[in-house]
Amino acid sequence: MGIRSVLKGAVIAGFMVSVGAGSALAQACEETEFSSKTGQIYLEAEQAAMTNNDYTTAANKMNQLKAMGLNCYEEGAVLKLSAYINIQKGDRKAAVNDLLSALNKGYIADKDRAQTYYNIAQIYLQEEDINKSLEYMTKWQQAGGKPDRTQKWQLAVLYQRVDNFKEAIKWAEEVKADDGSKYDQQLYDLLIFLYNQADDKAKLASILEEVVAHNPTERKYWDAIAGNYFASNEERRAFEVQKAMYLAGMLKTEDEIMRIVNFYNRFNVPYQGAKILEKEMNAGRVSRSLDHLELLANLYQVAREHEKAIPVIQAAAEAGGGGAMYERLGRSYADLQQWENAENALQKALSMGGVKDPGTAWVQIGQSRYERDDRAGAREAFRKANNRAGSSWLGFMASEEATAAALDCFQYQSALLNVTNEAKICKRLSVLGEDQMTENCKTVNERLDAAEKAFNEAPSCKGQQT
């Protein structure tokens, strides 16, 4: 039941406590009964109202009585019955005036004052006069009224209506305490609103967790938790909530799914982000746009899953990525040491245009040729690069070739030196006679001539021959 709905029967029952000729009056009135004339009219009014439900006749009788000279006992009874009749007629303003007049003149016994204040508060509530209703709810408590669970709930909502969130929270929390383990969705919704308005992030997070425990499939509460973490700059917690929502199947739109993918990227979990993005693209919930393909390739490359990245980059290139995407494809092939594929992709990139740094592309082509032992082609590519990296590669290749030549020449030099030293030994042995000569010495001169010829004709030893 909404806050505007008042249990009319309960209010009337409260009125009936103090309605009737036999009800007690305040001590200041010494009269104790009606006169015969006024008594008859009162009884007719009471019967019309309470037995016949003829409130028009009853109201006319009340007006007749009010115009007569009444003693205090009579006036008190008339005011209270008049309030009851006006409530039944829907004339709430007149009912309040009757009750306030009875209070001010002392016609309401002390034991009934609290209930009367409560009745007035309910009448003002029906009139949508929230401030007046709160005023008399306060008087009711000051007069000894003890709010039950329903009345605490009413106070929480009334204070919320006038933006007094501190008081509203107080009463709402008392309702929650009274409920114990009982779960009332309406109460939790109010607490969520109040904690949010009061900017009490800790209590808001706590109450939202309780709500989600009772409503695990209710999307709006998950969104509220994530939003609360976002507002508190706790993006990691917001990510965990969003991840749980995705795993529970709550996130279905492209924007929602891309938010999760970007979260994985942001928090350095690229492979998981790539798996989700590829899965959702295959399922058709995320479009295979150039931007999405490029992001998928990025995620796989950051995760060092180059083999998975290549078909994605290929698709992105074919989807209109241009030379820049083919250049990227070439780099990816190079990462996998697929040198021929790398050169083909890079050549296509250069032919299509759109490559930001053609020099670097030529260096990579040169490297792919170098790795395939195409040294002439590599030097050509490095020259076309016309940059520091190309020059470095050319210098490296020159140094590499010079080293190889030096090693090759060294072998000829070593061979010649060995035979030369052997010839010197044989020459010393010759003075001892032919019979002292070894078999090697017999061929040393021929071998020395052959070693000298090999050294002099070796291209790697050019410039060193004598």
Is there a contact between 80 and 112 (Cβ–Cβ < 8 Å)?
A: no
Amino acid identity, position 215: N
C-alpha dihedral sign at 375, 377, 380, 385:
negative
Q: How far apart are CA 151 and CA 155, in angstroms?
A: 6
Domain range list for the chain: 1-145, 406-461
Residues 367-426 have pLDDT tens digits of: 999 999 999 999 999 999 999 999 999 999 999 888 888 888 888 889 888 988 988 888
Determine the pLDDT at residue 13.
45
Determine the pLDDT at residue 72.
87
Dihedral angle computed from the Cα positions of residues 254, 257, 263 and 266, in that order, rounded to the nearest 10 degrees: -50
Is there a contact between 413 and 461 (Cβ–Cβ < 8 Å)?
A: yes
Amino acid identity, position 393: W
Determine the pLDDT at residue 387.
93
Q: Domain 1-145: state its class.
A: mainly alpha
How far CA 64 is from CA of 41, 51, 99, 135, 431, in Å, comes to: 8, 20, 18, 33, 170
Determine the pLDDT at residue 10.
39
Per-residue pLDDT of the chain (466 residues; tens, 9 = 90+): 333 333 344 344 455 544 444 444 554 677 788 888 888 999 999 999 888 989 899 889 989 998 998 888 888 888 889 989 988 888 889 889 989 988 888 888 888 899 999 999 999 998 899 999 999 999 999 999 999 999 999 999 999 999 999 999 999 999 999 999 999 999 999 999 999 899 888 898 889 889 988 888 888 889 888 888 888 888 888 898 899 999 889 999 999 999 999 999 999 899 999 999 999 999 999 999 999 999 999 999 889 888 888 899 888 888 887 888 899 899 889 988 999 999 999 999 999 888 889 999 999 999 999 999 999 999 999 999 999 999 999 999 999 888 888 888 888 889 888 988 988 888 887 777 666 677 888 888 888 889 888 888 888 787 675 5
Determine the pLDDT at residue 320.
80
| Beta carbons within 8 Å of 102's beta carbon, 6+ residues apart | 18, 76, 79, 80, 83, 108, 116
| Beta carbons within 8 Å of 328's beta carbon, 6+ residues apart | 297, 313, 317, 321
Q: Is 397 exposed, middle or buried (0-12, 13-18, 19+ CB in 10 A)?
A: middle
Is there a contact between 257 and 276 (Cβ–Cβ < 8 Å)?
A: yes
Q: Is 1 exposed, middle or buried (0-12, 13-18, 19+ CB in 10 A)?
A: exposed
Q: How far apart are CA 226 and CA 245, in angstroms?
A: 10
Determine the pLDDT at residue 260.
93
φ/ψ bin of 126: left (φ > 0), alpha (ψ from -120 to 50), beta (otherwise): alpha
Exposure string (b/e) for 256-265, b if CB count within 10 Å is 16 or more? Answer: ebbbbbebbb
Q: How far apart are CA 452 and CA 294, in angstroms?
A: 64
Residue 35's SS3 state is coil
Q: What is the pTM of this model?
A: 0.56
Exposure string (b/e) for 21-52, b if CB count within 10 Å is 16 or more? Answer: bebebbeebeeeebbeebeebbebbbebbbee
Return the residue matching tokens 């308005």: 197
Q: How far apart are CA 288 and CA 254, in angstroms?
A: 11
Q: How far apart are CA 352 and CA 9, in angstroms?
A: 85
CB hemisphere CA count around 115 (13 angstroms): 16
Residue 441's SS3 state is helix
DSSP annotation string for 129-158? -HHHHHHHHHHHHHTT----HHHHHHHHHH
Look at residues 116, 94, 91, 92 and name the one whose alpha carbon lies nearest to residue 103: 116
Q: How far apart are CA 97 and CA 280, in angstroms?
A: 68
Amino acid identity, position 306: H
